[in-house]
A and B are shown apart, each in its own frame.
Chain A
Amino acid sequence: ETGVTQTPRHLVMGMTNKKSLKCEQHLGHNAMYWYKQSAKKPLELMFVYNFKEQTENNSVPSRFSPECPNSSHLFLHLHTLQPEDSALYLCASSPEERDSQFFGPGTRLTVL
């Protein structure tokens, strides 16, 4: 069983909705990540948090807003998304930023 969990597993939302993705890791890791995986494109790093501090924002539009209240939880708040934002959103964690990352099962997001 994976030590990184993500909820919900599937989400359908309209362009005017506000929703949040949740990631939780039970591995005692200090670094957490959000990735976007679109069809036929490489995995794209969105945000990196290390010890609850954001260390990377990979030019992500402001309609995606991350939150890391503690080292075990990571949220991705979504608002006024576009249909092209439909993708699989993966959360990952690692002991430190330089270490191997362990991924959650992902949230399949569809924006109508």
Chain B
Amino acid sequence: AQKITQTQPGMFVQEKEAVTLDCTYDTSDPSYGLFWYKQPSSGEMIFLIYQGSYDQQNATEGRYSLNFQKARKSANLVISASQLGDSAMYFCAMRGISWDSGGSNYKLTFGKGTLLTVNP
């Protein structure tokens, strides 16, 4: 079974500062993927960044970077130079693989999310 844990229900950061959102995971799959999504108050989920379990380097996408520590099973999201528009819910998710007689199945498991508020 897969599990994603986000221990920070809410975080506050000053505009232009960096912030780290925590995510730890648990899985027995040898290969997996880790994702971060942003959900503004409008409701839609916006894909931010992806890290594969065998990727040698930490993923970066603009102001977003993923601090992947495989041994510690953590995949923290770092947002640099926070902007007011970054205020939203942030979800960490893991894609795992399950196998049955029908073949392989991919499943995305989400954490409970962290509400980030950027203060001016």
Q: Which residues of A contact B (CB under 8 A)?
A: 2, 40-43, 45, 55-56, 88, 90, 92, 97-98, 100-106, 108
Cβ contact of B47, chosen from A43, A55, A102, cutoff 8 A: A102
Residues of A within 8 A of B37 (CB): 103
Q: What separation, in Å, do the CA atoms of A2 and B108 have in the docked complex? A: 20
Task: Give the interface SS of chain B, mostly helix, strand, loop or mixed.
Answer: strand
User: Are B42 and A42 touching (Cβ within 8 A)?
Assistant: no
Interface contacts (Cβ under 8 Å), in number, total 47
Which of A40, A101, A105, A106 has the most B CB atoms < 10 Å from its CB? A101
Given contacts A90-B45, A103-B45, A106-B43, contact A45 B106 (CB under 8 A): no
> What would be 8 A-B contacts, judged by CB atoms less than 8 Å apart?
A2-B44, A43-B91, A43-B93, A98-B106, A100-B35, A102-B47, A103-B37, A103-B47
Q: B: which residues have CB within 8 A of A?
A: 4, 33, 35, 37, 42-47, 50, 91, 93, 95, 97, 105-113
The 10 closest A-B pairs by CB, nearest first: A103-B45, A43-B110, A106-B43, A105-B44, A97-B106, A42-B110, A98-B106, A42-B112, A100-B47, A105-B43
